Structure 1
Amino acid sequence: MNEPIPGPGLAEPSADLRTYLAVLRRRKWSILAVTAVAVASALAFSFRQTPIYTSVAKVQVKPPTVNQYLQNVPVSTLVSMDTERQIASSAKVAELAAETLGTDRSPEDLLESLSVSVPTNTQILEIGFSDPDPAAARAGAAAFTQAYLDFKVQQATEAFAAVERSLSAKIKELQQQLAVQQEKAAAAEPGSPEQVAAQAEIDVLTARIATYENRISDLGLIDLDPGEVIQPADLPTSPSSPNHVLNGGLALVVGLALGVGVAFLRERLDDRIAGRQGFEEILGAPTLAVVPHVKSWRKRDRTELPALSNPDGGPAEAYRTVRTNLLFMARDGDLKTIAVISPGPGEGKTTTAANLAVSLAQADKRVIAVSCDLRKPRLHRFFNLANDIGVTSVLTGKATLNDAILRPVGVPMLRLVASGPVPHNPSELLSSERLDQLLAQLRQVADFVIVDTAPGLTVSDGLVLAPKVDGVLVVADAGSTSRAALRQLREHLEQVSGNIIGGVFNNFDPDRARYYEAAYPAYYYGRYRYRAEEPDRRPRGRGEGEVAGPSSEEVWRSEDIWT
């Protein structure tokens, strides 16, 4: 049997930018929906919030004294703005602000409405206060500004007082030492060494006392100036919170991020086949053709034969592509019997078998199409033929093969063997040696035998046929076949030694690819049951269901069925 021709998509593709962009393009509506919900929710929440007004006052921070400020020393070495910011937002300042405001709010509650910031590389404190009432916001900012300045003055005053107390204590101690030395000098002989030493000590102590007294005097001359209000608290005219534009912008960014995440999550969870490349990766065989989606093919029960009715259309060209690939694969003559199978019903298996048979026959190949879907036979309906005699008739001995061969109208090189009456034991009939003999007989007189089978995951009929033919052609529907179903069918075919020669990717919409809005159909089990053959309402005249050949023996001896 022929080995499958390696397809371009059999190697694991590397994720690249085009792959990601393709996912985003296919899932754009999911992304837009998530983004819209996020923005709408954020704006709804934003507009329901109580408007908050913020008033800001600016204070230029100065060293504790003018004398220090006038020294030739950088201000940054005298003032730590991080420390000043912490002081402005401290509980002590909040207590002073509460007294100024005369409010019942606790200092801790007031601090929750306070914001203090320092612009980069400046000695400016920006003191802000927020409140639903604009006037209250301005009053709060002004109160904290004044409380900060008052606290700094109070802090400096206490520091200066502590220095004055320390200097006074030192002066008092020196005065006591001075009194002792004065007593020594008075008791000593004038001009004596004792008197001279005592006098020298008196001069030193007097000078030190004078120095400390001068320092105390200087403290009284210090001008306390902790800072200057360079921008008083203003009355806000528009709310600072909520910021609808900012909230909407953030929601847009977050919504887009969530939308992209949802898009890739849906991509990961989506079990449909991701185009031709995904089809080949799962099948492990090349795609022989991609049959485009045709909007007019909406009813699954409708039989479509574009290879005859619309030979210039896209589907007919796709089936000719399958023909070309099969002719190349069968060039050695060991690929004659081909089974067409799909994971489940309604995926284009029988349509592919019928059109492929016509396409091969149009290439002057002797083709016999055999309907081995014994439970729901449809192949004969594509050619307007009856189904009263067929495979089951031959396998049960009720008719000869010569009686079962039909001639479709308009395709001289095509013959058809219908399925015949629906049996009660289709799997047993297909497992019998009689089917092997039937296929061998057909193989002798035809270039190709196209066998339509039952869906592989629905019943075992198709899997029974797979090892009896030269190759298996797998058909999958781009809109309904799942990756799991296709993978399971491949495993089943490999277990029975079925030779998968390729696949047909059917009903492919280039615009929507695998992303149809319709939900997945229910799984295959239970959907494919026995159905009695419908009464044939088609007239069976000459050329429609006409018996080919005089007798079974003569058929296989002389190939007169092609004359």
Structure 2
Amino acid sequence: MLHSPLPGPLERGPAHEPPRREMTAAATSEGERDLMPSENAAGAMHLSDYAVMLRRQWAVVAALTVLGALLAGGYLLVAPRSYTSHTNVLVTATTPGADTSSRQSGINLDTEAQLVIATQTVTTAADLLDLPAEEVADLADRVTVTVPPNTEILTISFVAPTAQGAQEGAEAFARAYLETRRSAAAEGQETDVQALQARIDALTAELQEVVSAGAALPADSPQRARTDERVAALNTQLADLGSQQRQVRATPITPGRVITQAALPLSPSSPDLPLTVVAGTLLGLLSGLGIGALRHRADDRIRTAEDLRRRTGVPTAAVLPGELREAEVVLAPPVGADGRAYVRLRNLVTAGLERSARRVVLVAGVRGGGATVAANLAASLARGGEDVVLVCADVHGTTAGDLLGDSPSTGLVDVLAGRQELDAVLRPLPGLPAVRVLGPGGDPHRVEPLLQARRLRVLVDRLLGTASVVVIAAPATTQSLEAQTLAPVAEAALLVVEPEVTVTREVTDALDCLEAVHRPVLGAVLTGRAARGGARRARQAAAPERGARADGRVPAGAGRAAAPARPGPRDSALR
């Protein structure tokens, strides 16, 4: 019989270290596993977790992404429309005789931009738009002014609920701005004219005084000559000032001009269709990713072998692709996906118990499935040449009845109570006599005190006298503590984990129970999800075991004529 090497120690050493600690050390020494404590694994997201999260939470992410896009579309339907129209105004110097360039004339375009939204300009624009007084207050908030770089241009933009209103508002503000500049320039021009006129009036008065004084002087006197010279100088000054005054009055005022007329907007500027849809979709996607990550972190269910290893530190001994029937034990065909998985499990058990004098393995489901795995493991061991005894310690289960075709009335409880002899209750498995089944027996309510007595170890020792391997099918660890009660008579244990329904806490609780009695866990069997409501189990295209039906279940009465194994030398009454 071939034995496959198994990483990690399987028997208890002198130090009696907890099983998970042994497995962690073994896996680390071989460089195959990087086991982490479940609490660290539960609190940290790895890079691979994000891909797993997307695969598992894709429906939530997709739903929220679509919802975000739909909400954006709904907003576009109900949001008020806004239209924006733009006009460009070239700013020129208004100072008479100044250079037309705003840079050389000293025009500050930032100041001019503020002039567009000044109170006088807003009031003028409101008059041009013929707006009521209550709408004038927020008129400046609907105007924006920008200055393109390296230009003498102001871009005036106006927002309105209608396209026509936006166009008219932009034109009104451009006209109001130019009119404000024109008025300011005209006032400055008038101020200059008045200043020149004041100087003219002063010189004229002085000229009159000089002329009057000179008329009283002799014509050939030196004083008369000086007076005449003064009169000539004053006349020259008056002529110059008059010329300047006429020039100021004749200088045209050029506040600037509109170089781009306001156009009628063809589409609303707000809300922005592409931006709103992209923003809504992106927000929905981010919300989906966030909620999906929270759901993924809160979801403690075991789904894959990687989940099991990372969260609990338990290696996967085998993965069964087929579904398990609920509350029914079925033998899998030896050839097929399930059959190969059980062969792998058999090799792991035989290698793990190779150096042990007591070849006893406990199989317990976390939520269920332990009986089916234990029965198929016993059958696989028997096909490999072992003499196997299957102990159906789940006294409330139907394992023995499903395998033998009828429910034995006597069994484990009766032997432990001393009411029956061992050889009288052992029954060969129909079609596979190398497997003998020890049913639970009657009065299951007395099983707990009987299992805690020394008689259980004596019973297992007697079974080892007639068989090479003893497989104990224990109840689910989430339903009772009988698996922990049975563990001390076994040398190793196997856990059965149902994906999608078993949570990490349940697996760690099962490990803690076995660690408390210093029993190592060889690994976990990851089963297919239990078939509910009579769903059919996935069939494998393989020939059935001789004496078994096509679904792998042994029919009642088949092979029942096989003689039971001869009792061993230690087959005596249990005391």
Range class of TM-score, shorter chain: 0.7 to 0.9
Residue 326 of structure 2 corresponds to 300
Matched-pair contact (CA < 8 Å) for 2:462–2:568: no
Contact 2:365–2:495 (CA<8 Å) still a contact in 1?
yes
* Mean Cα deviation higher: 45-54 or 476-485: 45-54
The aligned runs of 1:440-479 (5 Å cut-off) are 440-479=461-500
* Alpha-carbon shift at residue 378 of structure 1 (Å): 2.4
State the AA in 2 paired with 1:85.
A
2:258 corresponding residue in structure 1: 229
Q: Quote the residue 2:282 is aligned against.
A: 253
Distance in 2 of aligned mates of 1:172 and 1:23? 94
**One-letter amino acid of the counterpart of residue 295, structure 2:** R
Give 1:333's aligned residue: 356
> 1:175-190 to 2 correspondence within 5 Å?
none
Query: Any residues of structure 2 matched to 1:50-65 within 5 Å, and which?
Result: 50-65=80-95
CA distance in 1, matches of 2:338, 2:60: 31
Work out whether 1:368 is the aligned partner of 2:368.
no
Rounded to whole Å, the distance in 2 between the matches of 1:112 and 1:129 is: 9
Q: Does 1:397 align with 2:426?
A: no
- 1:43 matches 2:68: no
Match of 1:262 in 2: 291
Change (3 A) 1:541 1:18: closer
Per the normalisation by structure 2, the TM-score is: 0.77
Choose which of 344, 349, 354 in structure 1 pairs with 2:375: 354
Deviation, structure 1 residue 106: 2.7
Q: 5 Å matches for 1:401-416?
A: 401-416=422-437
Q: Does 1:10 align with 2:35?
A: yes
Question: Offset at 1:392?
Answer: 0.8
SS at match of 2:444: coil
Name 1:290's counterpart in structure 2: 319
TM-score by length of 1: 0.78
Q: CA deviation at 1:180?
A: 12
Query: Does the residue aligned with 1:381 lie in a helix, a strand or coil?
Result: helix
Structure 1 residue 47: Cα displacement: 0.9
Letter in 2 for 1:447: S
Identity of aligned residues (%): 27
Q: Which amino acid aligns with 1:318?
A: A
For residues 243-285 of structure 1, the C-alpha deviation after alignment (integer angstroms, 9 at most, x for no partner) is: 3333212211221222221221211111112521220233323
Q: Distance in 1 between matches of 2:330 and 2:403?
A: 7
Query: Residue in 2 aligned with 1:504?
Result: 525
Corresponding position of 1:548:
564
1:125 paired with 2:141, answer: no
Match of 1:116 among 145, 160, 184: 145
Deviation at 1:172, TM superposition (A): 8.6
Q: Could you tell me whether the CA contact under 8 Å between 1:47 and 1:242 is conserved in 2?
A: no
Matched letter for residue 116 of structure 2: A
CA contact (8 A) 1:379 1:452 kept: no
Q: CA deviation at 1:389?
A: 1.8
Amino acid at match of 2:176: A
CA distance in 2, matches of 1:79, 1:273: 75
Q: What is the Cα deviation at residue 166 of structure 1?
A: 6.8
Relative distance call for 1:16 and 1:396 in structure 2 (3 A) is closer
Root-mean-square deviation (Å)? 4.1
Distance (whole Å) between structure 2 residues aligned to residue 355 and residue 200 of structure 1:
141
- 1:129–1:87 distance in 2 versus 1, CA, 3 Å: same
Residue 371 of structure 1: how far off its partner (Å): 0.9
Higher deviation after alignment, 373-382 or 545-554: 545-554
* 8 Å CA contact 2:398, 2:407 repeated in 1: no
Kindly provide the CA deviation profile for residues 335-366 of structure 1, in whole angstroms up to 9, marking residues without a partner as x: 62111123323xx2211111111112211122
CA distance in 1, matches of 2:240, 2:444: 129
Match of 1:10, as an amino acid? L
Q: Aligned pair in 2 of structure 1 residues 143, 384: CA closer, same or farther (>3 Å)? A: same
Alpha-carbon distance between aligned partners in 2 of 1:495 and 1:36, rounded to the nearest angstrom: 51
Q: 1:554 to 1:96 in 2, by over 3 A?
A: same
TM-superposed CA distance for 1:120, in Å, is: 4.7
Deviations for 1:196-254, whole angstroms, at most 9, x for unmatched residues? 9xx99999999999998877666445543333212212223333333333321221122
Native 8 Å contact 2:87 2:155 kept in 1: yes
Do the aligned partners of 2:353 and 2:491 also contact (CA within 8 Å) in 1? no
The equivalent of 1:100 in structure 2 is 128
Tell me what 1:387 maps to: 408
> Match for residue 4 of structure 2?
none
Question: 2 CA distance for matches of 1:42 and 1:483?
Answer: 40
Determine if the alignment matches structure 1 residue 429 to structure 2 residue 429. Answer: no
- The code of the aligned residue for 1:52 comes to S
Aligned residues: 514
Work out which of the residue numbers 231, 242, 246 in structure 1 matches 2:271: 242
Counterpart amino acid of 1:264? A
* Counterpart secondary structure, 2:528: strand
| Structure 1 position 99, deviation (Å) | 1.0
Structure 1 residues 121 and 29 mapped into 2: Cα distance closer, same or farther (>3 Å)?
A: farther
Larger mean CA deviation between 40-49 and 162-171 belongs to 162-171
